[in-house]
Structure 1
């Protein structure tokens, strides 16, 4: 694979949110993005891989698909894996590891497949094997087609580089960004999270409003690849897309520790000037001065913190407060149990499909502007 040739780039999304991610990728100007199970595919070269890691908020990771070929037995895989142009992708001095998966194929043993590809890389390139960490090479053998990808992100892209402190049931930044997008948030209206925890929704919203790149404060695996051009990357990172936000973002929580976490995380993210956090119970929250916007909230689910029956009054109180004080505001509420969501009494629109989150399936419930 040459540095100028386009190849397929895969951006991972939580199942059920692929179309939302595709909309974001299209909006950022990537070529012909297409939603597929588990993510979005687009085409480009290495600069597009770097840009996807730097720019795209909703992607969990970015894979560069470096080769694909048909195989029906392990000896054939061994031979074909040696013909992959590894030297144009991997460096001989950087450790790597291989993960394989097999589905509906004559090669069905993923461990044996990973072993053959590992040996092929070691013997053709001489790169050392990493027990953990290192560059991850992924092989997916489905219907006898083996697709070889390199994970260009390293740590999951939800790790933006600012969140040292988290609460007991955090939402990943990538999922928060996709839920904000589903709610129609584009950074031009105020956002309020009345159960802000460690501040994820508020900080994501503030970054969107300020046009800050989500990957601006972290390293990536692609910096260790043979295709990496440091001067071109530094030039890409140096482009300042920031703008003064049109509105502020607000968070509150009844727990003082959560408020302190949110303040610290917002400071590390560089959005202190456009965010506000304070301690308040649900019954105490008030809309900030100015035009209405979006209330987005990820309340306790019961299966993860506490008991569902004890949570119904909390959801009722939330619904009553929003109904009585937040006229004109839209609401986005993440819940694992529709009964708890409907305990709010809020006029929810038809919800989308549930999505996996922390071992559960959660649904985003939305309203139009409240009367």
Structure 2
């Protein structure tokens, strides 16, 4: 018997989250290979659907359509013309093309014209970048590395942080994929208590609740692959039903959130309701906070940066108060904090010996601090 058809994917991760995405994909048996910007996955046909619906820390899932040598524009045009795009494009409409070139003798500006000639699409549109949150139309990616060109198609559509539950955000929104990534980096598996002392709109807690419930993040949204000519609705619904059946009705551990802002807590409650989870939320000042319950777990927080919330001059005092509360009230717990990459604020926390990982939040350089208490 011939081997089953296989797919090669590139799951895109936000800067710094590649290890989290690798660990997550490995846990699902997807055989990841980490590269800069994400992980390569290989598996049976339909793997792109499972990756989109399951992976919490991926920003996009790209399906590789083919690769070829492209030492010059002529070879590039011939290689593009030989690609079989039939399973993702029926020839109608105008796709968008994202071009990434590194050490290539073919100028990036010439790729759009070569693709337009090869595919007979004079009005081929140039895409911006992979961070564009565009849920409509077909987006292809041509990556030139030296003499090699690899062409992929975006299977996700809108960026995967859009789970569907967060219709309201706080003043400094945190993407769901980044929240989930920090939880994975902290070793959170949903089986221990989770506390957010500055919970804002509740993103950390809702992502943690879904992890605790074994609920896949992509069950309530649509994907670009649903518009592919080769899309099989019955097979997709069977996959969704199987993934849905794995979910528990309630979290396996307690989750609690605190915030001094009553409006933020209201937003967190409504977001949690839309996500189908119940959170213990209470208005409290971080300075007087006590650990809820006697079983230790993980404390996670995204304290204000001063870029969008509050005044920069107040931040060191706030960070000192947070650090003092963590050491006073949460002995035996672990902590994961997303903080700006500013030495004065990191020192104010007083978490000596914390593991520090570089990440980005909304384009700002940040640090994920991981430490036992």
State if a TM-score over 0.5 links the two structures. Answer: yes
Q: Identify the residue that residue 34 of structure 1 maps to in structure 2.
A: 33
Aligned residue in 2 for 1:341:
346
RMSD over equivalenced CA pairs, Å: 2.2
Q: CA deviation at 1:39?
A: 0.3
Q: Secondary structure at the match of 2:266?
A: helix
Residue 303 of structure 2, aligned match among 299, 309, 312: 299
Query: Residue deviations 1:141-194, cap 9 Å, x none?
Result: 111211100000000001111111011221211111111011110000111111
Question: Separation in 1 of the partners of 2:116 and 2:318?
Answer: 53
In 2, are the aligned partners of 1:98 and 1:118 still within 8 Å (CA)? no
Secondary structure, aligned partner of 2:86:
helix
Aligned partner of 2:213 among 184, 205, 210: 210
The verdict on how the C-alpha distance between 1:333 and 1:160 changes in structure 2, with shifts beyond 3 A counting, is same
Please list every run of 5 or more consecutive structure 2 residues that lacks an aligned counterpart in the other structure.
128-133
Instruction: Specify which of 199, 204, 208 is matched with residue 201 of structure 1.
Output: 204
| SS of equivalent to 1:87 | coil
Q: Distance in 1 between matches of 2:103 and 2:205?
A: 43
SS in 1 for 2:253: coil
**Cα distance in 2 for residues equivalent to 1:119 and 1:218:** 35
1:169 and 1:216 map into 2 onto residues whose CA distance is 26
> What is the 5 A alignment of 1:3-42?
4-30=4-30, 32-42=31-41
**1:189 aligns to 2:192 (yes or no):** yes
Give TM-score scaled by structure 2 length: 0.91
Note the C-alpha offset of 1:363: 0.8
Partner of 2:335: 331
Selected match of 1:351 from 339, 344, 356: 356
Q: Aligned residue for 2:169?
A: 166
Q: Who is 1:315 aligned against?
A: 319
How many residues matched? 361
Q: Does 1:62 align with 2:61?
A: yes
CA distance in 2, matches of 1:268, 1:350: 34
Instruction: Tell me how far apart the structure 2 counterparts of residues 223 and 94 of structure 1 sit (CA, whole Å).
Output: 16
Aligned in 2, Cα 1:45/1:94: closer, same or farther, shift over 3 Å? farther
Q: What is the Cα deviation at residue 201 of structure 1?
A: 0.4
| Conserved? CA contact 2:14–2:37, under 8 Å | yes
In 2, the alpha carbon distance for the partners of 1:21 and 1:145 equals 26
Looking at structure 2, the residues matched to 153 and 200 of structure 1 have their Cα atoms a distance apart, in angstroms, of 21
Per the alignment, in what secondary structure is the counterpart of residue 58 of structure 2? coil
